[in-house]
Amino acid sequence: MNNKDNPNQPKIAFTSPVAVQLKQGEKYYYCTCGRAKAQPFCDGSHAETSFEPLEFEATIDGTSHLCACKHTKNPPYCDGSHEKLEDEK
Ligand code: FES
């Protein structure tokens, strides 16, 4: 079973972060499984996996870069981990 169909492994949605406009104090649900069509947000596609969305509250108004490779060590924010995924593409 490879990374793309293992329900216990995150799927790499994109190998670059997604820029989104967030509102300070609002709650959002970040997709941790990588299967949502509404990246970077959860749309329920994790149902057949071991993943759950990550609820977070925006701390600033404006643009944030959220992780879409699902390998960040600082979810939901991009930490540059996508640059180290060459072997998994
Ligand atoms: S769709 Fe990925 S965590 Fe919900």
- Cα separation, 7 vs 20, in Å, equals 27
Structural domain spans, the chain: 18-88
pLDDT digits over 38-86, tens only?
A: 999 999 999 999 999 999 999 999 999 999 999 999 999 999 999 998 6
Q: Among 28, 32, 54, say which to mutate for ligand 1: greatest number of ligand atoms within 8 Å of CB.
A: 32
Average pLDDT over residues 24-32: 98
Q: By C-alpha distance, which of 41, 37, 50, 26 is closest to 75?
A: 41
Integer CA distances (angstroms), 51 to 15, 62, 84, in order: 20, 28, 22
Position 1 pLDDT exceeds 60? no
Predicted confidence at residue 87, as pLDDT, reads: 57
| Token pair of 77 as six digits | 């924010």
Place of tokens 């404006």: 62
Residues with CB under 6 A from ligand 1: 31-33, 35-36, 42-46, 51, 53
pTM of the shown model: 0.89
Ligand 1 centre and the CA of 16: distance in Å? 18
